[in-house]
Amino acid sequence: MRDTSIRTLRRHARSAFPIIGLCALLLGCASIQNAPVNQPGSSADLAGQLHESSEERAATDDDLVGLSFSGGGTRAAAFSFGVLEEMAQTSVRGGGASMLDRIDFISGVSGGSVTAAYYGLRRRAALTDFREKFLLRNAEEGLQTDLNLATLGKAFAGGINDSTGLPRWLDANLFHGATFADLRMTARPRVWINASDIYNRTPFVFGVTAFGAMCSDLASYPLANAVAASAAVPVAFAPVVIQTFPGRCKDPLPAWIVKARDNRNAPPMLSAFAKAVSRYHDGEIPYIKLLDGGLVDNYGLSGFTIALLSASKPYEPLSPQRAVKLRRGLFLVVDAKTGVAGNWINAVEGPSGVDLVKAAANTAIDASVGAGYTAFERTMNDWQATLIRWRCGLSAADRARYGARPGWNCRDLKLLVGRIGFDQLDPARAARLEAVPTRFHLPPQQVDDVIAAGRDALRASPAFRAFTGSM
């Protein structure tokens, strides 16, 4: 009887070893490094620089161009890069200028934020080396990208990769110490990098508004860290942390934040953003936790939309001089998102494990992008109507002061909105492109296929053709 009991105990002990080992593994791998790197300070000076840059742009063109680059890893970065290359080859009037030189605003999410930030930093020079410095490189080197027994502990602790690996790689290979001060040194384009505030469930736009509210210095914040936050896929990456410094500066909340926060009828996106920024300012949130911007806005339209909805003047975010001269505007969403995939639809079981996590994330992202795009179209149509009313209501003195030309027509204004995606190419090619993985390491042939697709999709875009034709 005693021997039987001993054998039973041994058998139970052997069966418990894997569980004990797994628990030890989880505890041993649970240390996540994600200390905040932002510094206290005031963003008031940088806000003044941004205002001056806007005024400098106002003196030149009668057109306005904005781009938003979606998420999707290197695939998204390559697709948006192809769009920029094609714009560089599209001539417009004005002494050898191209469409590339007309870009005023770029917004980026996840993989698209890499292209947006690098182009905003180096402008035309970015086209000469971005393919070699990023698209053909393995940004996942040194990272663990698979969920397995070896990485399960860190996944449960907050993320398989902490917030040091990807920023370090991006800085060493692409940004070389560049900060937002370097990004803002050029008047054009203005760049928004978008992440997701997972506590407030709102977009987090790296800009003067959020950093000013938290009494932190945007100018010194590394571009590599902002891009890494924008691309921090849940589970694969731990959240990027931003510290708030309430009371360390005297910057008041912008009036439009207070108004949107307290107005029960404010647009939902603007209201949620304003409430989040107020919490940063009041010290209610000591640490902001950021993940992939695609979780709340995979098209990267938040920066555009919030800028328009928060405007206190009809012409904002433009200067009145620019708004009077404006005749044509083009806003393009460069969409490299994932198509439907998975073989678990062929059985009663599934999805499970990693497939379940991916399916849930893709469902959340795709469910929001269509509504977000429709809302943005409506916002742009409303802004066009508002601009026309304001322009037509100007006095003769104001028209002269703002630089209206002889024969100026206050109603001569058209804002075009378009989306560029794989699905707008022929079906076989679209299927091939949608099968390209959304990770940060792709074979050279796939990279070049996606770049070519970006060029071809831009040429085929009805909105782009109408805009260039009107010029």
Domains of the chain with CATH codes: 31-339+360-470 (3.40.1090)
pLDDT at 58: 41
pLDDT at 419: 94
pLDDT at 135: 96
pLDDT at 368: 64
pLDDT at 95: 56
pLDDT at 161: 65
Of 54, 110, 113, 278, the catalytic one is 110
Query: Is residue 110 flagged as an active site residue?
Result: yes
Of 292, 297, 335, 449, the catalytic one is 292
CA distance 53 to 61: 14
pLDDT at 6: 38
Identify the segments of the chain with pLDDT beneath 70: 1-33, 42-60, 94-96, 143-161, 163, 185-187, 338-344, 350, 352-355, 357-359, 361-370
Query: Is residue 70 flagged as an active site residue?
Result: no
pLDDT at 187: 66
pLDDT at 347: 75
The pTM assigned to this predicted structure is 0.85
